[in-house]
């Protein structure tokens, strides 16, 4: 009789356990099917917050319906769950369970920042300073680079960068510099070996001048050919953008005094390239610096319509200047 009672007891326990598991499964399954409120757009896991504190904050913001259910899911996933701090995005297909996956795996929301082609380093610094998602740290502008450079000018590749909120300025810059290094070395290896560059850095300097001279991709190889032809003839580059870069508090016009003042960027006064790049050049400018067009042009002048008129001699250049610049 006692044996039968034991069997009955275990059967009852099995039924109760089965019902409990079924109910628990149904309870938890709700998290797989219940879409979260997308009007919230995003949410945060704050630094130093415990799992319980974070889950309660989710409930307070109506991201989840039940603290208990979310907590059970968390501990079923990992006996010692850790939510990765940062900013997360809520998408239209997110459920409570997908939210859990995000915070456990650290699938942080990606901010974006665009460095415009032709930006100077000081402009990039201001861009980072004004971005609340990029933070300061010790050594804000320190980074490693394998290019022998005299200054940070021109070392950040202009592009749109994705990053997680809380990145430091130095880490952000390191990403930009690394990309520039990859692009520059790619075209250094593909360059015309007859070009008068001694180092990749010199090619970068040339690319930065090309960048400031023209925004037309189709013109850039010709612009490059003019400067290469002048270097090969030991002529001064006479590039206005280099003069402008060397002027403190430039006010929009180059004066005769500016052209006559000798400094390391006034290519009307010095031979060869300036000592550093004058901006962050685009890939098209770097490519043009590595493979200029085959031309005999030595001069060019703007036609005031976004293009340039190229000349092989000074006489023709003067005619073009008189036609397009002295109206």
How far apart are the C-alpha atoms of 126 and 115, rounded to whole Å?
11
Condensed to tens digits (0 to 9), the pLDDT of residues 85-98 reads 888 888 888 888 88
DSSP letter assigned to residue 39:
G
Given 134, 164, 183, the domain boundary residue is 183
Q: What is the mean pLDDT of the chain?
A: 86
The reply to whether 98 falls in a domain is yes
What's the mean pLDDT in 116-131?
94
Q: 86 has which bridge partners?
A: 45
Are 162 and 283 part of one and the same domain?
A: no
CB neighbour list of residue 135: distance below 8 Å, 6 or more residues apart: 166, 167, 168, 169
Are 90 and 117 part of one and the same domain?
A: no
283: containing domain: 191-324
Are 261 and 209 part of one and the same domain?
A: yes
Are 93 and 209 part of one and the same domain?
A: no
Are 84 and 116 part of one and the same domain?
A: no
Are 201 and 252 part of one and the same domain?
A: yes
Residues making up the chain, counted from first to last: 327
**pTM listed for this prediction:** 0.80
What's the mean pLDDT in 74-91?
84
Are 165 and 211 part of one and the same domain?
A: no
Are 208 and 262 part of one and the same domain?
A: yes
Given 72, 105, 138, the domain boundary residue is 105
The reply to whether 142 falls in a domain is yes
pLDDT band, very low/low/confident/very high, at 305 (cuts 50, 70, 90):
confident
Given 166, 183, 200, the domain boundary residue is 183
Contact of 315 with 231, CB cutoff 8 Å? no
Are 225 and 277 part of one and the same domain?
A: yes
pLDDT band, very low/low/confident/very high, at 72 (cuts 50, 70, 90):
confident
Are 92 and 145 part of one and the same domain?
A: no
Residue 125, H or E segment: helix 121-129
Count of domains for the chain: 3
Q: Indicate the range of 38-42, 123-127, 206-210, 263-267 predicted with least confidence.
A: 38-42
Condensed to tens digits (0 to 9), the pLDDT of residues 219-232 reads 999 999 999 999 99
pLDDT band, very low/low/confident/very high, at 24 (cuts 50, 70, 90):
very low
Are 197 and 300 part of one and the same domain?
A: yes
79 has a pLDDT exceeding 60:
yes
Query: Percent helix, strand, coil in the chain (nearest 5)?
Result: 45, 10, 45
pLDDT given at position 192? 95
Are 222 and 310 part of one and the same domain?
A: yes
The reply to whether 2 falls in a domain is no
**Quick one: which of 249, 228, 246, 250 has its CA closest to 237?**
228
How far apart are the C-alpha atoms of 89 and 165, rounded to whole Å?
12
The reply to whether 7 falls in a domain is no
Condensed to tens digits (0 to 9), the pLDDT of residues 30-55 reads 545 666 666 667 888 888 889 999 98
Contact of 175 with 161, CB cutoff 8 Å? yes
How far apart are the C-alpha atoms of 245 and 183, rounded to whole Å?
24
How far apart are the C-alpha atoms of 199 and 127, rounded to whole Å?
30
């Amino acid at each position: 009789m006692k044996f039968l009672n034991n069997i009955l007891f275990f059967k009852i326990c099995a039924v109760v356990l089965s019902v409990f598991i079924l109910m628990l499964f149904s309870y938890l399954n709700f998290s797989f099917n219940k879409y979260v409120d997308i009007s919230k757009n995003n949410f945060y896991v704050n630094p130093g917050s415990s799992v319980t504190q974070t889950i309660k904050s989710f409930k307070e913001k109506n991201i989840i319906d039940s603290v208990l259910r979310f907590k059970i899911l968390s501990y079923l996933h990992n006996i010692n769950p850790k939510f990765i701090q940062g900013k997360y995005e809520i998408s239209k297909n997110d459920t409570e369970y997908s939210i859990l996956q995000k915070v456990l795996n650290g699938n942080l929301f990606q901010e974006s920042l665009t460095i415009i082609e032709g930006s100077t380093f000081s402009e990039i610094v201001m861009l980072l300073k004004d971005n609340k998602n990029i933070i300061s740290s010790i050594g804000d502008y320190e980074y490693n680079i394998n290019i022998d450079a005299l200054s940070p000018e021109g070392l950040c590749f202009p592009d749109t960068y994705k990053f997680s909120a809380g990145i430091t300025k130095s880490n952000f810059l390191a990403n930009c510099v690394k990309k520039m290094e990859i692009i520059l070395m790619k075209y250094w290896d593909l360059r015309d070996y007859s070009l008068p560059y001694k180092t990749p850095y010199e090619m970068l300097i040339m690319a930065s001048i090309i960048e400031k001279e023209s925004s037309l991709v189709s013109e850039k190889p010709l612009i490059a050919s003019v400067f290469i032809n002048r270097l090969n003839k030991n002529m001064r580059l006479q590039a206005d953008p280099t003069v402008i870069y060397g002027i403190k508090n430039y006010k929009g016009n180059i004066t005769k005094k500016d052209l006559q003042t000798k400094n390391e960027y006034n290519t009307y006064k010095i031979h060869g390239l300036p000592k550093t790049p004058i901006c962050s050049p685009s890939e098209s400018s770097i490519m043009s610096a590595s493979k200029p067009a085959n031309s005999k042009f030595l001069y060019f002048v703007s036609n005031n319509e976004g293009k340039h008129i190229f000349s092989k001699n000074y006489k023709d250049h003067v005619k073009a200047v008189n036609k397009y610049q002295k109206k």
